[in-house]
Structure formats: structure tokens, C-alpha cells
Structure 1
Amino acid sequence: MIQSQSSPKTVTPFAQKLGAPLTKQSISVLQINLGRRCNLACSHCHVEAGPKRTEELTAEVCQQLIEVMYRFPQIKTVDLTGGAPEMNYGFRPLVEAARATGKEVIVRSNLTICFEPGFEDLPEYFAQHQVRIVASLPCYQADNVDKMRGNGVFDRSIQALQKLNQLGYGDNPNLILDLVYNPPIPTTEKFSLTPNQQKLEQDYKTYLKEQFGIQFNQLFTITNLPIGRTKFHLEHRHLHQPYLQFLEDNFNPATLANLMCRNELSIDYLGNIYDCDFNQMENLPARTGAGKMLSVAKLLEAGTLDVIEAVRTANFCYGCTAGSGSSCGGALV
């Protein structure tokens, strides 16, 4: 891991660092943020979700999204996130429409939702529809997880993983279970990049198997981007600018070809279109070549998903392009 050194320089604007627009490719992934409702309020949550949030998908947008799935076979993956996506309106109809049209479905689950009243059947539901689960487990030790996510979250996460294993997850090739690591939010200028993904995956697999009998498919390492609650914590400690400088210092142009924003549309609960979930949280809507904002309804009207020429970027994009890179699917190189 590389550590930072204090530096007085200012951050180079990300667009200037690239030198040319980050072009959009043909859309194959729909990532849908169903809303901000969640049973947890994690310290690192860039969505700033929680139990008191009420924003969620509307019936109208849900129906439009289902129509998009049926009309555009180029979509290979429907990626459902939140909040806890399972708690928000439209979750099951979207899962079932995506599976009916032959698409891979990913749910980004916090695992503990399976113990909330009314959601106890989720493990069986996931297995029935062969939903790929990408589950946050920011460490394989209890103390670190509970500090980030709340008391008791680690134990409930372990119980949920054991239940999923009993149903065949992590073993059956049609029942994929991936875990997500993200580092603690920095509290000093001793910043570090995420560890080597393959090595850390082996550490996770060994520990979870030996201690709890748990098996899973892949580990994804994700960098903390300086947005949402992470940005708040960094600013509170006067670390926001130094952290951005650290990320820029570790900029890796080899990550650019694999950035998730290039072939996905990120859709919020109102049906607005963004290049990625991070832009969505920072209110940077995607725009057409003519500068017009987009919605699901406008895409249906246009009869095409490929109307965005270039990805909108900002300085927090250094988080996805530092070191080995970072995406919803983990390291990029």
C-alpha cells in the first residue's frame, strides 16, 4: 500500500488530466437506485441512506424501466442498488422483468435486511430468481465492520451469508455471491490505496471458511470516493483536499478503458439519467451531445439508449482511477 505525503499543490481538474473527453460506449448495464430507504446508516455511505429516508421509486418510473428492459436487448445486466434496494418500491417487479428478459440481475445487499420484518424470505427469493448478490462486508473482523456499519451488523451479516450458502450460493454456478471491501474513512493524512484485490480475497476466503464455514465467489475492493458521508467526514477533519491530492498522485491511466461509467446508465428513483451512481449522488446528470438532460421517458421516446457522447467528470473521479482502479465490480486493472 502506498502512503501519502503532505503536498501544497492544488488538484489538477480531472478533465484536464484526461486531456480529451471520456467517451461513452454502447450501453449494456442499467444501474437503478431504487431509493434512499435503508435499515442501516453506514458511516461510509455515499448515498446517505438510512431508516428515516423516504425517497423511493415511483410506480410510473418502475413501469418505464420494465418497458426499457423489454425493448432493448442490448442490456445485459440490471444492477439494483439503494439504500437497501430490497426495501424500496419496485424491487421485485424489476427483478422479475429483468429475469424474464434474460438479463443478469445484481442486487447490492447489506445482508442484514434479511432479518427485518417482512423481508425474511429474501434469501429464498434471491435463489429462486438466480439473483447475483453483491454484499458489503468491509472487513472480515467484527470490530471494524460494526464501527462502520453499526453494532451487531457483522454477526447478522455472517448469519445471512451462512443462510445463502445453505441455499447453494457460493457453490452453485448459477448462484453467485460476491463480497465488497472498502477501507475505513481516513482520519489522518496517512492515506492508502485499497489492498491487492486477489490477495485480500484469499485472506477473506481463508478466514471466513475457517471461522464460519462460509464460501463466496469474488471479493471486490472499492475505494472510498470523497462524496456523501465520506466527504463530510473528510471535510470535518480538513482532509478533503489532501485526500483528492493523494488520489491524483496515484492516477493510473490504464484504468480508463474499464471505467464502469462508460457502458452503463445510472438511474435515480425519479427516472433521471446519470453516467454513474457517484455522479447521481453529486447531482451531475448525464447530458446529450446537445447538452440536454435525460430521463427514462426521453430514452423511450428516442428509441435508443445510446444518446450520450461523453461522460461528465469531476475531481472525485480520481477515486475510480487511482492505483488498480475502483468500480462497482472492484479493481479495474
Structure 2
Amino acid sequence: MIALNTNKLTPFDQKIKQPLSKQKITVLQINLGRRCNLACNHCHVEASPKRTEELSPEICQQLIELINRFPQIETIDLTGGAPEMNYGFKLIVEAAKKAKKEVIVRSNLTIFFESGFDVLPEYFAKHQLRIIASLPCYLEDNVDKQRGKGVYNASIRAIQKLNQLGYGNEPDLILDLVYNPPIPSNENFSLTPNQINLEKDYKTFLKENFEIKFNQLFTITNLPIGRIKTYLKNKKLYDAYLQFLESHYNPQTLAHVMCRNQLSIDYLGNIYDCDFNQMENIAATLPDGKPLTVETLLKIGNLDVINDIKTADYCYGCTAGSGSSCGGSLI
């Protein structure tokens, strides 16, 4: 599909015509830091081995207190960087599991082969962590172009190891994979493929070639944030890409966008409506306009203090076509 660069973008808040309201909070998505063993070219967090930002012991303890205090929290979603490399990972995992929460780790899989992290697969299985792992294509060339040479083969070996431990087979050991489309190099933009059909293709190819099993595939749209934003601007494609996303806006996705029932928390304890707002530094606020932190929530004693979600033009990425979220397509 070709994006036309002739129409002016409609601001997202004007498109939806009314504020996007927050619902009961059931998910905490925590970014533990920017340190990562990879530097993928589609990373909206701009993580890399050179980054040093990570959670502090003080904020870690506040997060554990938050997890313990609010029974309404169902899921703790740990991300980064490579979350496993940043301070507080195991402390939060074990506190959350003790509190009977679902724990998701968003793993790049290749971390298993870094010094000191080879025990992670067994640790994940022991604590029954749900793994959501990046594998942006089932073909080697496409993966290595996005994530670096050798990443595909390392990812395959990591999944095989997880399968040996029961992931993808046992009901309490869930392994989901994530598809990201290639970053567009011209105005021939396209939305993510149909998630159900692409999952079938992944499962067939990976089973036939590597005897690999996994649970679900999530298709996630590339939002123009972080390294993708920089790339699109350098290619003079940024405005055209946003217009393409707007042209495929689907109002049916609004009821299901992930920002409605989650809080996104950074390594400093600041709170955002979603991970994308976190990267763009658009803080969530109380009705009086004051920014929110974990410490503030603990003092208030209430998670449901945000009325309206802060939106931006990149929200078209979550609401185009079948929609996109950290859990894949929305409808």
C-alpha cells in the first residue's frame, strides 16, 4: 500500500473526538532499565550494551510494596532493555510470584548465551514465567537484518532449550513470539499481516525446520518512536508514515488498547499510560495535572487515579487496521 503525502495529519485527540478514559488498573508494565546485550534497529527504547540506566534499590522496594498492597494487579510485565540484565529483575519476579501474580518477561532470547545468564531458562521454568520473545520473522535473513548477525540462530537455540524445559508444551509454561514488520525504506508502507494466518506460518516453518513449538504469535506495528523515528525522519518518511497509519485508523480498536488498564513505570519510578508515552516522556498525571510516581500512588493508596489517557499522533500505530499492543492485534 502506498502512503500519500498530500493530506495533513489529524491530531489523534481530534480523531477520537472525546478523551480516552482509563479503566481499572490490572497490569503493571515495568521498564527495569535501558541496558541490553543487543542494539536492534527497531528498538523504540533505544537500548544497547552501552546504556547504564537501571532500577535503583529504593524504587525496587517501592514497586514490591505496590505489588503487595493492591490485589487488583493481575499481571507484572517486565521489560527493558533486556529486563534480565537490570537491577531488581529477580527481586520483583519472586515478590510478584509470591503475591500470586502472572509475571511476563519480555526476553530477547539471546541473553541466555551471555556470561552469567545461562541459568535463565531454568529460572524462568522454576518460577513459571510467561515469556514473550522477539522473533520478528521466521526467516534468518530478515531477523538478522533487524536485530544483528547471528541473532536468529541464537534465538532458535534458545527456543529449543525452552522447549526441552516444557515451554510451549506444558500449560503453565507459556512461550509467545513477537513479529515486527521490517522498517519501511520507502512509501510502500503496509500494516502487519493477519495475526492468525501468520501464526500458522510461523508454527509450520519452525516445527518442520527446528522441531520448535510455541503458544501464540503477536503482531506488533512499528511505532515511529526511538530508533524507528530517527530512521524515518532521516529518510523523510516520518510524516508520510503517520499519515498512512491515520488512513487505516479503526475506531473499533479503542475499546481494547493496552493503555486503558495498565500503568507503565520507568526505572526512576515515574508513571506513564503506556510504554510508548514513557519513551516520549509524556507522563501520566492526576486530574490536577501533577505527574504521578510510584511513591505518590503508595501515599494515595489507590491505583485508579488517572481519568484521561495522554494521547499523541503515534497512537495511530496502535489503532490502525486490526490494532497493535504488547499482546498483539486487538480485534
TM-score by length of 1: 0.99
* 2:219 is aligned with 1:221: yes
- Alignment correspondent of 1:25: 23
SS in 1 for 2:42: coil
Deviation sequence 1:24-58 (CA, Å, 0-9, x none): 00100000000000000000000000000000000
| Contact persistence 2:109–2:159 (CA under 8 A) | yes
* Cα drift, residue 136 of structure 1: 0.1
1:66-215 to 2 correspondence within 5 Å?
Answer: 66-215=64-213
- Alignment correspondent of 1:310: 308
Q: Once superposed, what is the RMSD of the aligned Cα atoms? A: 0.4
SS in 2 for 1:220: strand
Q: How many residues align?
A: 331
Separation in structure 2 between the aligned mates of residue 261 and residue 6 of structure 1, nearest angstrom: 29
- Alignment correspondent of 2:230: 232
* Cα drift, residue 10 of structure 1: 0.9
Aligned residue identity for 1:313 = T
Separation in structure 2 between the aligned mates of residue 6 and residue 54 of structure 1, nearest angstrom: 40
SS in 2 for 1:316: helix
Aligned partner of 1:11 among 9, 12, 33: 9
* Cα drift, residue 288 of structure 1: 1.0
SS in 1 for 2:76: strand
Which blocks of at least 5 consecutive residues in structure 1 are unaligned? none
Aligned partner of 2:273 among 272, 275, 286: 275
Separation in structure 1 between the aligned mates of residue 289 and residue 13 of structure 2, nearest angstrom: 17
Separation in structure 2 between the aligned mates of residue 184 and residue 5 of structure 1, nearest angstrom: 16
Aligned residue identity for 1:271 = G
Deviation sequence 1:251-306 (CA, Å, 0-9, x none): 00000000000000000000000000000000000011111100000000000001
Separation in structure 2 between the aligned mates of residue 88 and residue 7 of structure 1, nearest angstrom: 42
Deviation sequence 1:114-172 (CA, Å, 0-9, x none): 00000000000000000000000000011110010001000000000000000000000
Aligned residue identity for 1:243 = Y
- Alignment correspondent of 1:287: 285
- Alignment correspondent of 2:246: 248
Aligned residue identity for 2:211 = G
* Cα drift, residue 7 of structure 1: 3.3
Separation in structure 2 between the aligned mates of residue 56 and residue 278 of structure 1, nearest angstrom: 18
SS in 2 for 1:207: helix
Aligned residue identity for 2:286 = T
Separation in structure 1 between the aligned mates of residue 265 and residue 39 of structure 2, nearest angstrom: 22
Separation in structure 2 between the aligned mates of residue 214 and residue 26 of structure 1, nearest angstrom: 37
- Alignment correspondent of 1:331: 329
| Contact persistence 2:5–2:239 (CA under 8 A) | no
Separation in structure 2 between the aligned mates of residue 258 and residue 5 of structure 1, nearest angstrom: 26
- Alignment correspondent of 1:37: 35
Separation in structure 1 between the aligned mates of residue 317 and residue 245 of structure 2, nearest angstrom: 6
SS in 2 for 1:106: strand
Which blocks of at least 5 consecutive residues in structure 2 are unaligned? none
SS in 2 for 1:188: coil
* Cα drift, residue 4 of structure 1: 2.5
SS in 2 for 1:133: strand
Separation in structure 1 between the aligned mates of residue 325 and residue 319 of structure 2, nearest angstrom: 9
SS in 2 for 1:209: helix
- Alignment correspondent of 2:46: 48
Aligned partner of 1:298 among 296, 299, 303: 296
Separation in structure 2 between the aligned mates of residue 5 and residue 225 of structure 1, nearest angstrom: 16
Separation in structure 2 between the aligned mates of residue 236 and residue 146 of structure 1, nearest angstrom: 22
Separation in structure 1 between the aligned mates of residue 263 and residue 4 of structure 2, nearest angstrom: 37
Separation in structure 2 between the aligned mates of residue 331 and residue 301 of structure 1, nearest angstrom: 36
* Cα drift, residue 195 of structure 1: 0.1
